[in-house]
Each structure stands twice: as C-alpha cells, then as structure tokens.
C-alpha cells in the first residue's frame, strides 16, 4: 500500500469520526474498532476481486462506505469506475464528502433505491459487492442485473450464510468460493460467479 493510499484511508476515517458525532453512520460500539472492524473487513475483498481484473465496481447498500469506498481508495488507480448506491440521503451526503476529501474522481454516488438503477446500469459492472445488506436470495436478485457477462458478486455475510445459500439455490444457479472473514469471527465472504436465474 502506497503512502498516498494510506493517507487517503486516514483522511476517510477522520472524516467518519467527525460526522459520527452528529450522524449515526456506524454502530457507536464499533467506532473504536473502525480500522479492524470496518476498514480491515472491507480490505479483504481486494485480493479476491483482483484475480478477476475488474475495471468497474458497484457497491450496493454502501452505508458509511464499507466496503465500497475503502475498495475505491485502495484500487483508485486500477478501477475505471466505481458506483456507491445508498438511498439514505444523510449517508449519501457523507459519501460525497468522503469522495471529495479522498480525491476519488472515478467514484459516483447514487442516492437512489438499488432497483431504480437496474435499467440505467444493466450489465455494466465487473464486481458487485454488498455487506450485510439482504438475505442471499434477495441480494442476488438486486445484484444480477448489474453484472457483466463474467461478473462477480462479493457478498459479505455472517453465520447465516449456509442457510441462505440453500434458499438461494432454489432460485439461482451459480458457482461460489467461500472465504472465512478475518475481521468477523463467524463471517464469510462469498465470491459468486456465473449467476443465472433458474427457469420456472
């Protein structure tokens, strides 16, 4: 990691801490663990995604920027375009300020519902990521329209993943590789590819 990247991460965390005083961006009990619990957790996606050589990335349900904004900082010189989708306008305002502070010219904030973007951005993203957004069957439905032909979904899930995968398999066909989360003891990162809806 370059000194410039480290400086951007520090600037982002400082901005988060400032905004957190007046806005509930992350759970207050996790703020003291922001580097491990939030930043470190997000960074786990980088080596997984780089194996697929993505040029475009969409993070849905971005919240306070985890994992999408962290990925955008670290892969600033590798990704042509990054989209962060966050319908909560206060959180979207924070994300816009973070993009300015961190000089992320390739990042766009979409303060809209995820479904409202499906038509405008169909088949546009090599990676779609989400952290604790929705049960896997629903999450795949939200992510699928955005994916390029060989696109990858990176789903950051908790211990419920196994049960959710069973339910998702009734609706979707997909390949997946599971990675244990180093930041969340019982967490799982599911790298899902070749996603197709099963025929009724």
Looking up tokens 């697929």 gives 52
Q: Give the integer Cα–Cα distance in Å for 77 and 29.
A: 33
What angle separates helix 89-101 from helix 3-20, to the nearest 10 degrees? 150
List of residues 6+ apart from 17 with CB closer than 8 A: 31, 34
Q: Please list the pLDDT of the chain residue by residue as tens digits (200 residues).
A: 899 999 999 999 999 999 998 988 888 777 778 887 889 999 999 999 999 999 999 999 999 999 999 999 999 999 999 999 999 999 999 999 999 999 999 999 999 999 999 999 999 999 999 998 999 999 999 999 999 999 999 999 988 899 999 999 999 999 999 999 987 678 899 999 999 999 87
Alpha-carbon dihedral angle through residues 28, 181, 160, 171, given to the nearest 10 degrees: 120
- DSSP character string of 81-105: EEEEE---HHHHHHHHHHHHHTT-T
């Amino acid at each position: 990691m370059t000194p410039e990247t480290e400086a951007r991460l520090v600037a982002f965390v400082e901005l988060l801490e400032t905004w957190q005083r007046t806005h509930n961006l992350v759970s207050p009990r996790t703020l003291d663990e922001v580097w491990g619990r939030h930043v470190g957790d997000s960074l786990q996606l980088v080596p997984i995604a780089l194996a697929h050589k993505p040029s475009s990335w969409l993070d849905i349900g971005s919240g306070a920027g985890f994992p999408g904004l962290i990925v955008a900082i670290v892969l600033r010189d590798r990704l042509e375009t990054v989209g962060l989708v966050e319908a909560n306008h206060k959180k979207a305002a924070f994300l816009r300020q973070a993009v300015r502070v961190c000089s992320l010219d390739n990042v766009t904030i979409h303060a809209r519902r995820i479904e409202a973007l499906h038509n405008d951005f169909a088949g546009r993203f090599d990676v779609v990521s989400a952290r604790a957004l929705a049960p896997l069957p629903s999450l795949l439905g939200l992510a699928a329209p955005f994916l390029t032909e060989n696109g990858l979904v990176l789903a950051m899930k908790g211990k419920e993943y196994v049960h959710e995968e069973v339910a998702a398999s009734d609706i979707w066909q997909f390949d997946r590789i599971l990675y244990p989360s180093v930041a969340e003891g019982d967490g799982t990162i599911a790298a899902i590819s070749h996603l197709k809806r099963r025929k009724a």
